[in-house]
Structure 1
Amino acid sequence: MRPLLSLFVGLLLCSSLHAETPVQRPQHALVASAHPAATVAGLETLAAGGNAFDAAVAVAAALAVAEPYGSGLGGGGFFLLREAGTTPRYRFVDARERAPLKAHASMYATPGKAGQAPSLDGALAAAIPGLPAALAHLSQRYGKLALRDSLYPAQRLARDGIGIDALYRERVSWRLKAMQADPETARIFLSDNQAPAEHSLLRQPELASTLQRLADHGHAGFYSGRTADLLVRAVQAAGGIWTHKDLTDYRVIERQPLRAKLQDGRELITAPPPSAGGVALIQSLAMLQQLNWRKADTLTRDHLVIESLRRAYRDRGLLGDPDQVRNPLASLLAPAYLQQLARSIDRQKATPSSSLPPATAWHEGQHTTHFTVIDQAGNAVSATLSINLPFGAAFTAKGSGVLLNNEMDDFAKAVDEQNAYGLTGSQANLIAPGKRPLSSMTPSFVESAGELSSFGTPGGSRIPSMVLLGILEYLDGQPIERWATRPRFHHQYLPDVLEYEPATFSSQEKAGLLRLGHQLQSTNRRYGNLQVLRWNKQSGAVEGASDPRGLGRADTLALPPQ
């Protein structure tokens, strides 16, 4: 049996495993995103002559307007890029938010106002946004169109309005009290201080003006000038610690993706730190292959996935911002270590997390969005964006329309303190000036000489487990719709419980998992919003799927040969 991962994993700077000939082109371009309006914005940009990177700008900006609960100009994210060619090139654009320069490890030691968590609600919870810088960077360095052209669909949506749907109203219900506490947020995103009626219009004229300044002046149109003045003035007036230097100093960072050789000539290209998800994904896949998961019955297969996730999540507390802490990637991805992890899994019983050798746990946030794009040249983008909790910090900078993130809660406020999701802190992820918080966002490609597939989802700490389950469906030869619809379960080492969607397991399977020693806990709702695509390089066929748990849409576009 061939090992899933070769002896060389981690940052592969060597030549690609899957050189292709220039004649291999997709028959169609494709966009799959979490909102139909964003998918249309991407297709519109492709039809106007843009490439996948222009379309990614259009989709990300449109999501900022249409899904203010999931992403926005006040947030950040990760963009995994594939540049087409005889030997494809990959880039990872890190647009993760940064802690303000006045931030410090004990800044949340003093409680906030009654009923308010200062790392979750209000101006002090906001890190410096990265998404606007990413949009300008992608357009300038990789795009074919002017930034103003790629941003126009989002400006139009902000000006003319976007329909309120059931998902928007549900997200409001989760954060209503915090949103009511900020007059500007309540004015824009609520109606009479309550969730707007379904099918009413959300208009954001101030955000349209902010997008126009970004379109006209690129990076400087957000991080200096009028927009910066509005942001800093509002944050400081509300007790935050932003300065103009925080904004003018912000830059995206291009990093090398993590790459690992898979079985059958495939290669995984995934997110490096400050994402912890790529490491967990590589580790989990390595363990499962060594355990010959595809030969197992359904119950044993699920058990092996759970035990692999338990061990992979255990290691995530060792990771942090690579510009400020040393990430032990070579050790965590070493073949001998991965074999040791696999050998520690008992096929007949669950391993209590407390019995594993101790490791520092970690801290993570929650709400995100994801999209994926491919053009007819074979350029592709897999991007995951976030403002953390739904509607971020529930604080909008007056006059800008920019709803700010609460990503400061993704830092560890103390090594032994849990966040809102039961995840405890780590030394590597403590708050420091200018630092990027650890994230679970895991945009990923799997590529071979014959095909390219893309995976990604929102879902906070559950992101790596969802991406893993989608990739396992792909490796098992299942149709693309199954990658996105597959019932989900999750284990993150601590707390030592197996979370699962309703209807994931039959009564017989639940009984079997209990006999193996797993502690089961239903989420009582479905979660995640996986967006996937596949390009068959032999036939040229392109197909995509958008998770039916959300409102998203995957559509293709055929353009005449150029």
Structure 2
Amino acid sequence: MKLALRWQVLLLGFVLGTSGAFAADTPTPSIQAAPLAQRPGHAGIASANALATEAGFEVLAKGGNAFDAAIAVASTLSVVEPESSGLGGGFMATLYMAADKHSVFIDARETAPAAVNPKDYLNPDGTPNRDTALKGPLSAGIPGEPAGLVWLAKHYGKLPLTASLAPAIRIAGGFKPDERLLGSIREEQKNIERWPASAAKFLPNGNAPAQGEIWHDPDQAHTLELLAKYGDSGFYSGETAKKLVDAVRQAGGDWTLKDLASYRVKERTPITVDYRGYKIITAPPPSSGGVAIAEILNILSGFDLTKLDQAHRVHLVVEAMRRAFRDHNDYLGDPDFVKMPLDMLLSPYYADGLRQTIVPDKATPSSMLAPSNASDPGMHTTHFSIIDADGNMVAITATVNYVLGSTFVADGTGVLLNDEMDDFALVPNKPNVYGLLGSKANAPEPGKRMLSSMSPSIVIGPDRTAVIGSPGGSTIITQVLEGILAFIDGGDAHQVVAHKRFHHQYMPDVVTVEPGAFDATTSDALTHMGYTLKQREPWGFMNVVIWDRRTNKLDAASDPRRQDGLGKVQ
């Protein structure tokens, strides 16, 4: 322990004296890859639901661009995939504008209400109260997705919001739910039954809709119509806002009309990192994902992974994951509230020091860095990727947090609220539902944005470009990392989304392994190095679009682990 602490202190002292070459507040440089001036001439969309993908293409056919299509996809997912995202949640987006080769990050993350009280999330004995953190109105942050959709239309789209929201409004009039949604409703039925408006929406006649049954969501259709007609004021003030606040407060929550009226979208500078000739454009805080991915890639840049057998490659990747997640837990939070040492965390010099602590043939016990306990990560969020005919790109990861969010629907709105308050460090150094730890940097405060793992990313290489992201709680970070590595190794869209996964998040000190990820020789070698391997069912729902600029062809794919997504090019 003393040795581990000593090298950390030495590294900290050394790195704080270096320049912040990768600082997040440095303006994003223009991308200089020569072929990027080319137009694809056609478009690719990959999302978690076929209806959402088709909605995106419908809006493109009306003359919209990738950003208009993103509004259509996100709003349709709110209707057909409420277990993962929706108007009651938030999103993070990495955008790339082809005309000026400029990228920007849109932060439509939820915020804590002004009356937030950490004591509401504690049991009498001081332990975390998982019910108030995950179910009902106290678990819900102020939604950001509606404002984010309006922002996209106003600042980046070509079409009026009415046109981009039209597919979702129509689909809310009647559609056939997929088995994932029906299964989620059955899984959460007891919680849904606690809230009359939730039961009315998700349990018609007292039960989940039957397979093949037409499902109607007229309240959400009306909420979408008000958003389309009035923009921000159609959700954050007026009829919808009053219904939201009345419903939340009557059920024991603490929202106010001022909380809704005060919500603002934030534009931030993306994090960029160079790795093996590829530029990765990814999410800054309050996402932890981009910082962790950049830190891992900086560590790995000192190794030639292509010359290693699988066991030693996995060993180095896991050790880099371990160190990045440790820093994630200690330092990161909402940049509007917390001063973070991003110059240090994103510095190649800091990565050099971390790299020197990796033993070539032996696992580093996480207990040498700091002890803790945590649980398995979960899987409830959504991601979609878009490249349009002009080369504009959108990577959006959206969420209501856990399956069906808080399970609380605000009466008369059709809006299922998130349970993002659990993403705060409600009890410092105690794991949330995804097993992630947190410090005071991620403690709840009025108006503060909770830390996220969402990692929507764009990867620009010498001759190929990828738009990539995935749901998966804390595994989002490692999924996107491994997808980026698979893309850099030459994988096409289908190979990238199908790539077998493994995950380590510092605590618990276990390598979670998807069946078939490692052969027996690799598993034996990793066990001999000191790793504990734990197999679990396949996870994630990655959606990727790749532009091969040599052939000027697009390739879109949705994760084969789920049968409901659609990656399509036309």
Give TM-score scaled by structure 1 length: 0.93
Q: Select which of 88, 93, 101 maps to 1:74.
A: 88
Cα distance per residue 1:47-100 (max 9 Å; x no partner): 010001100000000010010100010000101110112x40111000000000
Q: Select which of 37, 40, 46 maps to 2:54.
A: 40
User: What is the letter of the counterpart of residue 236 of structure 1?
Assistant: R
User: What is the letter of the counterpart of residue 96 of structure 2?
Assistant: R
Runs of 4+ with >4 A deviation: 19-23, 357-366
- Find out whether 1:118 has 2:132 as its counterpart: yes
**Cross-structure match for 2:502:** 489
With 475-484 and 67-76 compared, the bigger mean Cα shift is at 475-484
User: What is the letter of the counterpart of residue 347 of structure 2?
Assistant: A
Task: Give the secondary-structure state (helix, strand or coil) at the position aligned to 1:127.
Answer: coil
Asked whether the 8 Å contact 1:363–1:429 carries over to 2, the reply is no
User: What is the letter of the counterpart of residue 97 of structure 2?
Assistant: E
Cα distance per residue 1:175-229 (max 9 Å; x no partner): 2221121121122112444332222222100000000000000011000010001
Identity of aligned residues (%): 45
Shift of 1:19: 5.4
**Cross-structure match for 2:241:** 228
Cα distance per residue 1:284-324 (max 9 Å; x no partner): 11222212212100111111111111111111021000000
Asked whether the 8 Å contact 1:365–1:439 carries over to 2, the reply is no
User: What is the letter of the counterpart of residue 89 of structure 2?
Assistant: G
Asked whether the 8 Å contact 1:34–1:371 carries over to 2, the reply is yes
Cα distance per residue 1:25-54 (max 9 Å; x no partner): 003111110100000000000001000110
Cα distance per residue 1:458-506 (max 9 Å; x no partner): 0000001000111111111123211100111100000111111222222
Asked whether the 8 Å contact 1:34–1:370 carries over to 2, the reply is yes
- Find out whether 1:54 has 2:68 as its counterpart: yes
Q: Select which of 398, 411, 418 maps to 2:411.
A: 398
Asked whether the 8 Å contact 2:377–2:472 carries over to 1, the reply is no
**Cross-structure match for 1:215:** 228
**Cross-structure match for 2:261:** 248
**Cross-structure match for 2:271:** 258
Provide the C-alpha distance between the structure 2 equivalents of 1:14 and 1:34, rounded to a whole number of angstroms.
30
**Cross-structure match for 2:149:** 135
**Cross-structure match for 1:353:** 366
**Cross-structure match for 1:560:** none
Provide the C-alpha distance between the structure 2 equivalents of 1:427 and 1:364, rounded to a whole number of angstroms.
22
- Find out whether 1:279 has 2:291 as its counterpart: yes
- Find out whether 1:548 has 2:560 as its counterpart: yes
Aligned in 2, Cα 1:23/1:297: closer, same or farther, shift over 3 Å?
Answer: closer
With 494-503 and 322-331 compared, the bigger mean Cα shift is at 494-503
Give the total of aligned pairs.
546
User: What is the letter of the counterpart of residue 400 of structure 1?
Assistant: T
Provide the C-alpha distance between the structure 1 equivalents of 2:373 and 2:203, rounded to a whole number of angstroms.
41
- Find out whether 1:510 has 2:527 as its counterpart: no
- Find out whether 1:480 has 2:478 as its counterpart: no
Shift of 1:331: 0.8
With 376-385 and 473-482 compared, the bigger mean Cα shift is at 473-482
**Cross-structure match for 2:357:** 344
Asked whether the 8 Å contact 2:120–2:132 carries over to 1, the reply is no
Shift of 1:393: 0.3
Provide the C-alpha distance between the structure 2 equivalents of 1:23 and 1:316, rounded to a whole number of angstroms.
36
Cα distance per residue 1:120-140 (max 9 Å; x no partner): 110111100000000111001
Aligned in 2, Cα 1:224/1:173: closer, same or farther, shift over 3 Å?
Answer: same
Shift of 1:16: 2.0
Provide the C-alpha distance between the structure 2 equivalents of 1:220 and 1:363, rounded to a whole number of angstroms.
40
Task: Give the secondary-structure state (helix, strand or coil) at the position aligned to 1:154.
Answer: helix
Aligned in 2, Cα 1:291/1:224: closer, same or farther, shift over 3 Å?
Answer: same
**Cross-structure match for 1:305:** 317
Asked whether the 8 Å contact 1:111–1:117 carries over to 2, the reply is no
Aligned in 2, Cα 1:518/1:244: closer, same or farther, shift over 3 Å?
Answer: same
Task: Give the secondary-structure state (helix, strand or coil) at the position aligned to 2:121.
Answer: coil
Shift of 1:426: 1.1
- Find out whether 1:374 has 2:387 as its counterpart: yes
Task: Give the secondary-structure state (helix, strand or coil) at the position aligned to 2:298.
Answer: helix
Aligned in 2, Cα 1:252/1:399: closer, same or farther, shift over 3 Å?
Answer: same
User: What is the letter of the counterpart of residue 130 of structure 1?
Assistant: G
Provide the C-alpha distance between the structure 2 equivalents of 1:492 and 1:21, rounded to a whole number of angstroms.
37
User: What is the letter of the counterpart of residue 98 of structure 2?
Assistant: A
Aligned in 2, Cα 1:7/1:474: closer, same or farther, shift over 3 Å?
Answer: farther
User: What is the letter of the counterpart of residue 315 of structure 2?
Assistant: H
- Find out whether 1:88 has 2:108 as its counterpart: no
Task: Give the secondary-structure state (helix, strand or coil) at the position aligned to 1:499.
Answer: strand
**Cross-structure match for 1:3:** none
Shift of 1:18: 1.3
Provide the C-alpha distance between the structure 1 equivalents of 2:264 and 2:529, rounded to a whole number of angstroms.
49
Q: Select which of 289, 299, 305 maps to 1:293.
A: 305
User: What is the letter of the counterpart of residue 526 of structure 1?
Assistant: P
Provide the C-alpha distance between the structure 1 equivalents of 2:143 and 2:178, rounded to a whole number of angstroms.
26
**Cross-structure match for 1:180:** 193
User: What is the letter of the counterpart of residue 242 of structure 2?
Assistant: D
Q: Select which of 414, 437, 441 maps to 1:428.
A: 441
Aligned in 2, Cα 1:62/1:334: closer, same or farther, shift over 3 Å?
Answer: same
**Cross-structure match for 1:18:** 32
Q: Select which of 111, 136, 158 maps to 1:98.
A: 111
Shift of 1:15: 3.4
Aligned in 2, Cα 1:412/1:14: closer, same or farther, shift over 3 Å?
Answer: closer
